[in-house]
């Protein structure tokens, strides 16, 4: 039976230099794992979007250094925790690789995100795990591509894999692979990506074993502990400096994709008392019928992201921080859904929750207060007559929005916000590959909420269809715009507008599915960021600059700011 790290852990006083050397080496290793995976990945999701993460964990599944896609980082303790519940220590062996895509058992964001975790053993001692999570092109479920805006059960979202061994003692299970591929509409892509992902995960094991052999397993374990407790101490010191108090904030999403008239409520109460900080989500709305529910792993990502942003963005995130923060949930709420509640559209829920948490935290760190931001959304066009020759008929884009204004800081305009950070597709690429014309890509004036510090402005993008197209839009913020704070105005709501052949316009919901024909078109306007503070206090020079730069019209400057040249 292998010793656990805990049993072997002694007061190994690892020196400060070795700790830093190992911290840097783990960061480099994680970087190398990402690249290795990116290079060998098969689908465009891996190669181009890079929708994946690789990590190194300690023996309890605690994250040592955060991946670029930060919100995957909070998944792993849940995943490894479940493995340690299911498997006795002697059943976790060198060469094993566990797989799961189960939001309820492994805490992954949604079923499309498949996670792999492999134990790292040095001379029979478990010193940690190597892990990875990556979006799969198709894992079954109701819709092609598996993601959904209108699923009502987790079973609609793809084949569920609880944590099981995909490799045992180095032996790859072709049976499990066949089972997965039999449930996928894209078996070749999924096979290639699974194999690349396992290779990257195993690379982490091999490299860590080399470090273990070189520095000693005890030294690696001791350094991990020191790195984790260092982050905990950093955060603890920052919390100690916060004033005691209680702060509550609430916000809403337009709807859950099923009940069109029912807004989805997110609520948090933050309590700071001395060294302790607690986030209580009990007042959030009941779990939704549609796929906007969150698992606690995602709520934690939102909390740590917001807390680090509010306290000091140079804090080092790792799972040591968990020892310092308390989470409270009520059962069957949108922030603590129970199976089989659907979770596929989790990201727009994450981004609303971040706004709410930041609003509550502003009470404690007013110098980092920020108004609501514009979230992210996607556009899919399935070209019904096959698209342009030589190219796929599936056009898929992800759009940024704008940040809210903050204490002493205007919100950035037309940029990916908070947890989201993906690239836009160039117009010249889109028109070259798809039968569309993008006839406008402009600024929406007055879209940033008025305030002493203005919300960021949003963009408008207009499409003309040269073939028939099935258009799927997934977004939010049409009924509940980005909220202003401290007297600032809300940002301008988002719009999705269909345009018929005669140029007649029709506003439709922010999320939906539309069958259009050649010659028709549509345009979308992203939500602007909320404003911060009383608009009448805005620096007149800043208003004059906003007018000159086209962010604010002269009429709105007069109306919202009382400004006249």
Partner 1 sequence: MADSARYRLGVDVGGTHTDLVLLNVASGAIAVEKVSSTPANPALGVLDGIGNFVAKGTPPGAIEFFSHGTTITTNALLEMRGARVGLLITRGYRAVQEVQSQARDGNPFDYFYDKPEPLAPQSMTREIGGRVDYEGNELAPLDEDAVRRAVAELHAAGATSFAVCYLFCYTNPSHELRTRELILEALPEASVSLSCEVLPRIREWPRLSTTLLNAYLQPVLVRYIGHLNRELDKGGVETRQRFLMQSNGGVMPFSAAVAGGKTVYTLFSGPAAGARASAYLAGEDAQRGIVTLDMGGTSCDIAFIEGGAPLEVTEVTVARRPLGVPALDLTTISAGGGSIAWIDRGGFLCVGPHSAGADPGPACYGKGGEDPAVTDADVALGYLNPGYFLGGAQTLDAAAAEAALRDKVAGPLGMTVREAAAGIRRIVDMRMADEVKVFAAKRGVDPQDFTLLPFGGAGAVHAAAVADELGIRRILVPPRPGAFSALGLLCTDVVHDYIRSELRPLDQVPPDHAESVYAALEERAKAELAEEGLDSAASVFERELDMRYTGQGYELRVGLSGLGAGGLDAAAMGAARDRFDDHHARIHGHAAKERPVEVVSYRLRVRVAVPKYVPVPAAEFTAAPAPKDAAKGTRAVWFDAATATETTLYERDRLPPGAVLKGPAIVEQFDSTTVAPAGWTASVDGDYNLILTREG
Under rule CB under 8 A, which residues in 522-551 are in contact with partner 1?
548-550
Question: Does residue 68 interact with partner 1 by CB under 8 A?
Answer: yes
What is Dmax (Cα atoms) for the chain?
79
Residue 86 CA to residue 94 CA, distance in Å, equals 17
Least distance (Å) from partner 1 to the CB of residue 403?
Answer: 6
Of 153, 276, 283, 431, the residue at the interface with partner 1 (CB under 8 A) is 431
In Å, how far are 67, 424, 451 from 372, measured between CA atoms? 25, 22, 12
Instruction: Show contacts with partner 1 in window 364-383 (CB under 8 A).
Output: 368, 370, 373
Residue 42 vs 480, nearer CB to partner 1: 42
Interface stretch with partner 1, choices 146-154, 269-277, 409-417, 517-525 (CB under 8 A): 409-417
Question: In the set 246, 422, 497, 508, which binds partner 1 (CB under 8 A)?
Answer: 422
Phi, psi (deg, nearest 5) at residue 479: -95, -40
* One of 7, 240, 330, 421 touching partner 1 (CB under 8 A): 421
Q: Are strands 276-280 and 325-328 parallel, antiparallel or unpaired?
A: parallel
363 binds partner 1 (CB under 8 A): no
Distance CA 109, CA 114 (A): 9
Pick 331 or 442: Cβ nearer partner 1: 442
- Structural tokens at position 95: 């060469």
Closer residue to partner 1 in complex, CB, 432/517: 432
Contacts 24+ apart (CB under 8 A), 1-4: 1/89, 1/90, 2/89, 2/90, 2/92, 2/93, 2/121, 2/124, 2/125, 2/126, 3/124, 3/125, 3/126, 4/59, 4/89, 4/126
Task: Give least dist CB 253 to partner 1, A.
Answer: 20
Nearest-angstrom CA–CA distance, 84 and 98: 11
Q: Is 392 in the site for partner 1 (CB under 8 A)?
A: yes
- Residues 442-481: x where in contact with partner 1 by CB under 8 A, - otherwise, as a string: xx-------------x-xxx--------------------
- Residue positions counted in the chain: 565
Tell me how far apart the alpha carbons of residues 288 and 138 are, in angstroms, rounded to a whole number. Answer: 24
Instruction: Determine which helix (DSSP H) or strand (DSSP E) holds 76, and give its type and residue range.
Output: helix 76-86
Q: Which member of 3, 4, 8, 32 binds partner 1 (CB under 8 A)?
A: 32
Q: For 54, phi and psi rounded to 5 degrees?
A: -125, 145
Per-residue binding letters, 304-343, with partner 1 (x by CB under 8 A): -x--xx---xxxxx--------------------------
229-258: contacts with partner 1 (CB under 8 A):
230-231, 233-234, 237
| Contact residue for partner 1 among 6, 20, 328, 505 (CB under 8 A) | 20
Task: Report the alpha-carbon distance of residue 184 to residue 155 in Å, rounded.
Answer: 14
Task: Choose which of 294, 358, 485, 489 interacts with partner 1 (CB under 8 A).
Answer: 358
**Could you say whether residue 518 binds partner 1 (CB under 8 A)?**
no
């Amino acid at each position: 039976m292998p010793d656990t790290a805990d049993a072997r852990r002694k007061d190994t006083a690892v020196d400060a230099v070795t700790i830093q050397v190992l911290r840097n080496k783990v960061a480099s290793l994680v970087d190398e794992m990402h690249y290795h995976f990116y290079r060998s990945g098969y689908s465009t999701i891996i190669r181009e979007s890079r929708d994946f993460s690789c990590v190194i964990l300690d023996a309890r599944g605690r994250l040592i250094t955060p991946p670029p896609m930060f919100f995957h980082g909070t998944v792993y303790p849940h995943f490894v925790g479940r493995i340690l519940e299911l498997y006795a220590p002697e059943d976790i062996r060198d060469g094993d690789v566990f797989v799961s895509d189960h939001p309820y058992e492994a805490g992954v964001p949604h079923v499309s995100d498949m996670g792999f975790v492999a134990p790292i053993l040095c001379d029979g001692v478990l010193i940690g795990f190597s892990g990875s999570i990556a979006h799969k092109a198709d894992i079954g479920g109701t819709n092609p591509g598996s993601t959904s805006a209108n699923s009502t059960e987790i079973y609609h979202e793809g084949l569920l894999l609880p944590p099981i061994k995909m490799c045992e003692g180095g032996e790859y299970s072709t049976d499990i692979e066949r089972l997965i591929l039999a449930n996928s509409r894209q078996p070749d892509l999924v096979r290639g990506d699974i194999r690349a992902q396992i290779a990257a995960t195993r690379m982490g094991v091999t490299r860590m074993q080399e470090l273990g052999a070189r520095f000693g397993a005890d030294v690696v374990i001791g350094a991990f502990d020191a790195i984790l407790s260092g982050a905990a101490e950093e955060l603890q010191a920052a919390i100690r400096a916060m004033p005691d108090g209680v702060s509550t904030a609430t916000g809403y999403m337009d709807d859950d994709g099923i009940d069109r008239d029912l807004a989805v409520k997110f609520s948090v109460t933050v309590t700071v008392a001395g060294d302790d900080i607690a986030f209580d989500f009990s007042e959030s709305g009941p779990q939704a019928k549609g796929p906007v529910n969150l698992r606690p792993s995602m709520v934690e990502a939102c909390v740590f992201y917001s807390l680090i942003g509010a306290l000091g963005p140079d804090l080092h995130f790792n799972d040591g921080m968990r020892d310092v923060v308390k989470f409270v949930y009520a059962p069957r709420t949108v922030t603590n859904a129970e199976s089989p509640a659907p979770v596929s559209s989790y990201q727009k829920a994450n981004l609303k929750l971040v706004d709410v948490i930041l609003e509550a935290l502003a009470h404690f760190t007013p110098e980092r207060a920020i108004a609501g931001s514009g979230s992210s959304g996607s556009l899919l066009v399935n070209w019904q007559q096959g698209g342009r020759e030589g190219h796929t008929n599936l056009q898929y884009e992800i759009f940024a929005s704008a940040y809210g204004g903050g204490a002493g800081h205007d919100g950035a305009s037309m940029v990916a916000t908070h947890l989201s950070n993906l690239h836009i597709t160039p117009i010249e690429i889109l028109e070259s590959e798809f039968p569309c014309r993008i006839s406008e890509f402009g600024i929406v004036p007055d879209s940033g909420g008025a305030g002493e510090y203005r919300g960021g402005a949003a963009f408008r993008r207009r499409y003309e269809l040269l073939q028939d197209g099935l258009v799927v839009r997934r977004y939010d913020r049409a009924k509940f715009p980005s909220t202003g704070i401290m007297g600032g105005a809300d940002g301008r709501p988002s719009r999705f507008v269909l345009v018929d052949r005669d140029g007649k316009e029709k506003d439709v919901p922010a999320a939906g599915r539309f069958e259009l024909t050649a010659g028709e078109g549509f345009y979308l306007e992203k939500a602007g960021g909320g404003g911060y503070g009383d608009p009448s206090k805005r620096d007149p020079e800043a208003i004059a600059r906003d007018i000159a730069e086209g962010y604010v019209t002269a009429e709105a400057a007069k109306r919202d700011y009382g400004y006249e040249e």
